Amino acid sequence: MNLEDAFSVVDTAVHLPGQSDDALIRQLRKRKEFSPPRKALSPAAGLESGITLRPIEALHWLSYVTRPRYHDDVLDRYLWWGLLRYLGFFAHDYSHSHLPNLALSAAGRRISGNQRRVTSEEMGIGFGAALAARWFDSTGYATLRSVVDIDVALDARFVFGPSSAVQHIGTRRADYLLIGADRRDSGRYVLRVLECKGTKNAGNAVSQLARAVGQLDGVTVGGRVPQGLATAVVTGESRTSYLAVDPGDDDEPSYRVDGESIDRGRSFRLESDRVDVSAAEIANAAVRASWAVLADFGGNLGAIERWAPQVMRSRIERQPRDRVTFETPVGTARGTSLEFGFGSERLTVRYGIDESVDDQLTDGDAGEVMEAQRAFADRLEAGSERRAPESPEVLSTTADGTIFSLVRG
């Protein structure tokens, strides 16, 4: 597959078939891996029978969500290897619907062994985050702003325990915290959790999903199990699909985030002997961590140092990188750039942050960061991020300010 064909595949809207219904829930309950959650399982709104998306959205989420896990000495290798592998991983299959489905390309079919297992798991993360964004759009009153790795951002051993206390829980919990911005009040946020699995075999997906459901109960916020989403993504040779369920919550709280609380979150760390961790404090620490993850995506080292909670600062070590400013269909962006060969062609990959958001991450206070993010999210809703016909660029964005760009030539 040449670079032009690969760009066409990742930038074309595809049908991602899926299932989230009562029949799936009945299957889950019969699995030995299933542990009944504290909340009743329900179909995930907006994900009942498939979605439409561009694959670049999943690749963007994958590069964003997993980036903080990689130390600086292997980050470039990870970015190069992942992009070269995944950019040509998919091909189109028009045999099932008016929109193409995603099948594996010839290059994708050659990935085998442990690399194939890792590929399936990472596709589970990328598509799982994209599914979470659609789920947010269909539920409640919040828009997904960020996906934060709980281990990296808060602590690998402790989570929020009952009655606002901290409780040791081991490893049986969801990996990601979903941070949503309240559409009715820009100073309030909701917290949800995501557990996403990935496999190449459709026969394994229900068992994976059953295990994922059990992990959603591993985090409590202010004594409540937050609303959660469990997904299992199947990257089979003939098509990519998903399963999803939602332990629902009809009365979801939102939490106030303000400058004073954000400032206190600088030294936030979950400790085993603390008994006074409030839901509001957790929300402020999570939002603060999300800004550090955003800064890391765009290579803004000063903003990482400024916003990362203590435990996160101790885990992310970055060397200064040249930052570039570039124009996009959604405005000016600032970030880092990688250029490398793809066959006989050149590929430039840009990891950017909307310029106004980046400015506020660097010098603004908490309110100004929130306002810049809200303004960027409003621009996305009002406009389009699709590239012009014949453009050598493929673009994807997230509502908190990231801009992921691939340019040929």
pLDDT value, residue 388: 59
pLDDT value, residue 342: 65
pLDDT value, residue 396: 95
pTM of the model: 0.91
pLDDT value, residue 1: 66
The candidate with the shortest Cα–Cα distance to 398, out of 123, 64, 138, is: 64
Secondary structure percentages of the chain, helix, strand, coil, to 5: 40, 25, 30
Per-residue pLDDT of the chain (409 residues; tens, 9 = 90+): 688 888 999 999 999 999 999 999 999 999 999 988 888 899 999 999 999 999 999 999 999 999 888 888 777 777 776 676 788 899 999 887 789 999 999 989 998 888 899 999 999 999 999 999 999 999 878 999 999 988 777 664 433 333 333 333 344 678 899 999 998 888 899 999 999 999 999 999 999 999 999 888 877 777 788 889 999 999 999 999 999 999 876 678 899 998 888 887 676 665 544 433 578 888 888 899 999 999 999 999 999 999 998 888 887 888 888 999 999 999 999 999 988 876 678 889 999 999 999 999 999 999 999 999 999 999 998 875 555 556 788 999 999 999 999 998 8
pLDDT value, residue 163: 32
Give DSSP secondary structure letters for 152-214.
HHT-SSEEE-GGG-EEE-TT-S-SEEEEEEESS-TTEEEEEEEEEEEES-HHHHHHHHHHHHH
pLDDT value, residue 272: 46
pLDDT value, residue 153: 73
Distance CA 223, CA 255 (A): 14
pLDDT value, residue 269: 65
pLDDT value, residue 343: 67
Distance CA 360, CA 372 (A): 7
Tell me which DSSP letter residue 388 carries: P
